[in-house]
Amino acid sequence: MREFERKQLLERVDREAATVGASIPTVVDLQGEEFELREFVFEVKQAESVPADRREDVEEAKKLLRRERLQRRQRLEDGNVTREEGERLVEGIIGLDRALNALESLGTTNLEAEMEASERADKKRWFSFLKEALGHDDNEGIKR
């Protein structure tokens, strides 16, 4: 494969919307073992959040998927692969990304609570900044 072809493939992998329309692979080889990825993702996604008894499995799966993605990307970057092998690697990486996105989205279930917590933290930082900028003592409100 020529260098410009390799760069095009890497661009596809790194594109923000690469996973749009991509499907999760049915089976993927993770660390030498076949893993029923699509079934696992759909099973876990049925619940609104990760069930307590599956959290460890999900975290382990995400770790393995990230590692596999990195290895495939490095192989595409560094390895001497043909254009066809490169295309297969890109499709596989995008499928892994799709699965990772699906698994990552499980943690954000209560957006309102997260927004309120973020706003409270912002207000606290703002008041701390103002106190420091105006030279007010935290306890007495007296200028230094």
Q: pLDDT tens digits for 54-111?
A: 888 888 999 999 999 999 999 999 878 999 999 999 999 999 999 999 888 876 445 5
Which residue reads 């043909």 in tokens?
82
User: Do residue 104 and residue 115 come from a single domain?
Assistant: no
User: Do residue 131 and residue 116 come from a single domain?
Assistant: yes
User: Do residue 102 and residue 67 come from a single domain?
Assistant: yes
More confident residue, 36 or 50: 36
Spacing of C-alpha 22 from chain mean position: 16
DSSP, collapsed to helix, strand or coil, labels residue 29 as strand
Query: What per-residue confidence (pLDDT) applies to 27?
Result: 93
User: Do residue 46 and residue 78 come from a single domain?
Assistant: yes
**Cβ atoms of residues 90 and 22 within 8 Å:** no
Number of domains into which the chain is organized: 2
User: Do residue 94 and residue 136 come from a single domain?
Assistant: no
Judge whether residue 15 has pLDDT over 70.
Answer: yes
State which amino acid sits at residue 139.
N
Range of 118's domain? 110-144
Global confidence as pTM: 0.68
Judge whether residue 132 has pLDDT over 90.
Answer: no
User: Do residue 87 and residue 141 come from a single domain?
Assistant: no
Residues in the chain: 144
